[in-house]
Amino acid sequence: MHIVRCEPLQHRNTFAFKSWASAYVQVVHEQELLDALEWANEHDMNVLPLGHGSNVVLAGDIDALVIHPAQRGIDLVEDNGDTVVLKVAAGESWHSLVQWSLQHGYFGLENLALIPGTVGAAPIQNIGAYGVEIASFIRCVSMVNIGNGQVMVMDARDCNFGYRDSIFKNVLRDKVVITSIELILSRKPCLQLSYPALNNYLNTDIAVELTPQALYDAVVAIRQSRLPDPGDTPNAGSFFKNPLVAPAQVMELLKASPDMPHYSQENGQVKVPAAWLIDRCGWKGKRVGKYGVHPAHALVLVNYGGDDGNELLALARDIAASVRHTYGVDLEIEPRVYGGE
Ligand code: FAD
Ligand code: NAP
């Protein structure tokens, strides 16, 4: 275990914001993680797990031991004929896992292709795209308690998975480091095609055979055509969650804007795309100093050469205020914000 004092994090977050960690360590197996937690305890330091930094806003320096889980490994731990159980280490890349599963004939993850980040971070916000969430596949999550080094395995039913939400964002926030997850995948293709964007793409290309590979290819192609690559244009994907609005308020909004897209949820609430609200408030493609709203996607805030997360947060506040003023809807930031004025 090699703990570095004063580590720059600018290349470790996809917004490329300048930030320094008071200490930093990569851990490749569980004992290293336990040693790192003990070191932090001895030095009276907080601990912050950081994967690929694709869902954080670093708005200042991090006064903590930043632990980068780098454990690797994908193991087939059960074969039940029609389904298999994979145990995947936290440090694996999520997209590489999606590709690996497809190549091995284990299906289900196709809609979640090209989501950046590590496997260990995936349960935190219950990553989702095109009508599929990781919660549908998780059997259990293994973790280490930051406070006492205790190893725990949590059944998926106890993870309180919700829309971009889980127990790791509230009750267990800052309390555990996830070390691996177990996923149940299917040997039989089970294509989830409910999203219009997918349907439109697949229907317009009549040469495409509907296989898991074709679905994966479609998701990759759509994402590459719509989303800026953080390597070229630093961003953290969707900056705001899609708000869940009460049906009565949606009825009122529809009177003034009959074309407003809206999707009823099982819990009775109605999801309204934040991108539509932001676009209608005139923000799409707008630049304010070195930050802006991407011209092709109103939900993606981008860094055009700045390095201060606080400046981007100021833009985000202005956007949220104008949506609140125009539609009476509150927007919630999706990435985790560290620091900030
Ligand atoms: P980080 O950003 O490093 O961390 C995120 C949070 O999780 C932090 O609070 C961190 O402390 C915590 N954390 C990380 N690893 C661990 C661990 N092992 N144990 C405990 N806590 C941990 N998300 C979606 O849901 N759907 C999408 O379609 C999607 N598309 C995206 C597209 C782009 C271009 C980008 C940049 C982001 C997108 N995201 C999407 C958001 C992001 O990719 C996911 O949230 C991803 O799971 C974050 O992984 P990470 O390793 O980068 O996490
Ligand atoms: P899109 O297809 O343009 O759709 C816009 C929004 O409408 C999406 O956010 C989606 O909500 C919602 N939506 C569309 N069809 C729906 C349906 N049939 N039922 C319920 N909700 C529906 O979306 P996009 O922005 O290009 O993104 C495509 C997918 O990738 C989405 O699922 C999105 O969440 C995901 N994505 C996430 C991030 C991130 O950082 N979190 C970044 C890029 C893309 P949902 O977002 O709830 O699915």
Q: Torsion over CA of 135, 139, 142 and 143, rounded to 10 degrees?
A: 30
Ligand 1 close to Cβ of residue 117 (< 6 A):
yes
Nearest-ligand number for the alpha carbon of 175: 1
pLDDT tens digits for 202-251?
Answer: 875 555 568 999 999 999 999 999 999 999 999 999 999 999 999 999 99
Answer for the pair 227, 237: CB distance below 8 angstroms, yes or no: yes
Contacts of 291 (CB under 8 A, 6+ apart): 301, 302, 303, 304, 306, 311, 312, 315
Q: What is the pLDDT of residue 207?
A: 56
Sign of CA dihedral 37, 40, 41, 47: negative
Pocket of ligand 2 (CB under 6 A): 128-130, 194-197, 226-227, 237-238, 242, 263, 271, 273, 275, 299, 334
Q: What is the pLDDT of residue 206?
A: 54
Nearest-ligand number for the alpha carbon of 163: 2
Ligand 1 close to Cβ of residue 49 (< 6 A):
yes
pLDDT tens digits for 7-25?
Answer: 999 999 999 999 999 999 9
Q: Give the position, in ligand 2's atom list, of the atom nearest the Cα of 238.
A: 40
- Taking the C-alpha atoms of residue 155 and residue 76, their distance in angstroms, rounded to an integer, is 18
pLDDT tens digits for 260-288?
Answer: 999 999 889 999 999 999 999 999 999 99
Pocket test for ligand 2, best of 164, 202, 271 (most atoms within 8 A of CB): 271
pLDDT tens digits for 293-317?
Answer: 999 999 999 999 999 999 999 999 9
% of residues, the chain, pLDDT over 70: 98
Contacts of 59 (CB under 8 A, 6+ apart): 17, 19, 308, 309, 310, 312, 313, 337, 338, 339, 340, 341
Asked if 136 is an active-site residue, the reply is no
Asked if 7 is an active-site residue, the reply is no
* From 133, 164, 166, 182, the catalytic residue: 164
Structure tokens at 128: 């989702």
Asked if 336 is an active-site residue, the reply is no
